[in-house]
Amino acid sequence: MSIEKNIENYVQIWKGKARKKLGRTLNSRPMTSRGMRDELSGSIKQAVEKVKHAFKK
């Protein structure tokens, strides 16, 4: 798992968490759902990278 991919995935997760929290604060359903999507997408990418790394060994 490359460091760059790892950092990109964590940035996407944190960006999603921030967007979700801002959407809840502003009572904006589209922003909240976009944040949840970003967070989930980053988590899935991170899991895929971990699986790839496990099979490389």
Question: Domain count of the chain?
Answer: 1
- Tokens found for residue 48: 């895929």
For residue 41, give the nearest of 52, 29, 33 by alpha carbon. 33
* Lowest-confidence region among 10-14, 40-44, 52-56: 52-56
Residue 15 is part of which domain span?
3-56
Q: Residue 51, SS3?
A: helix
pTM attached to this predicted model? 0.83
Average pLDDT over residues 25-47: 95
**Longest Cα–Cα distance in the chain:** 46
Provide the pLDDT confidence category of residue 1 given band limits of 50, 70 and 90.
low
